[in-house]
Amino acid sequence: MTISHPDLARDVASALLSIKAVSLSPDQPFTWASGLHSPIYCDNRITLSDPRTRGLIAEGLATLVTENFTHVDVVAGTATAGIAHAALAADRLGTSMAYVRSAPKDHGKGNQIEGRIELGSSVVMVEDLISTGGSVIEAAKAVERAGSTVVGVLAIFSYELERGHQAFVQTGWPLFTLSNYPTLIEVAAANQAITPDQLAALKTWSADPQAWSDAH
């Protein structure tokens, strides 16, 4: 998982914390849908409500495209969280945009891909958050089954979990993120939003989320 611009990564992390799109609570962990206890909860949909953060993310995603890919025909978002960010980035790039459902519709034309991705197109996928990577990887596979080439994946934020890293290694698709968990907790510590002891606990979680969850 690659951070191209450390300064931008810190700016995005600071913005996510400021608007409470990301919350840190090592002392009173959150419970994820999987049942895992976690000291972090991320809801990047909130970024759409803040014009400054929304613009920072859109410009950042567009920059990742121009700096890392020689040619992109389509920016494709994952449904639903990646759709708006893909649209904003595509608008800045002047490219086509589409989005990919988690499964084909059970009515109408049964589309899984909405919008138009011409056969043979070069496609960049956009996701809001990477944990295990499963959702965006499955969406990208649907794009390739339809006859186009996924050249890479972009995301606003990554938890930097080893399971997610290995998933992308297996696909061969490069992943670029605007910010990530290590950057975010360091920014939180620098802003005195967490104590040194809480920072240590947060670092422990990222090394082994399951063991951390079992202990909490």
**Binding-site sequence positions:** 101, 105, 107, 127-135
Q: Which two tokens stand for residue 28?
A: 């009173």
Contact between residue 123 and residue 136 where contact means Cβ atoms under 8 Å apart: no
The conformation of residue 107, written as its DSSP 8-state character, comes to: S
Closest by CA position to 98, among listed 124, 119, 80, 117: 117
Residue 172, amino acid:
G
Q: Which two tokens stand for residue 134?
A: 């499963």
Q: What is the dihedral of CA 89, 91, 94, 99, to 10 degrees?
A: 70
Annotated binding site for 5-phospho-alpha-D-ribose 1-diphosphate: 101, 105, 107, 127-135
Annotated binding site for orotate: 131
Closest by CA position to 47, among listed 156, 198, 175, 123: 156
User: Across the chain, which distance is largest between two alpha carbons, in Å?
Assistant: 55
Residue 40, amino acid:
I
Whole-angstrom CA distances from 48 to 23, 67, 100, 174, 176 are 17, 24, 19, 25, 20
Alpha-carbon distance of 56 to 130, in angstroms, equals 19
Collapsing DSSP states into helix, strand and coil, what is residue 115? strand
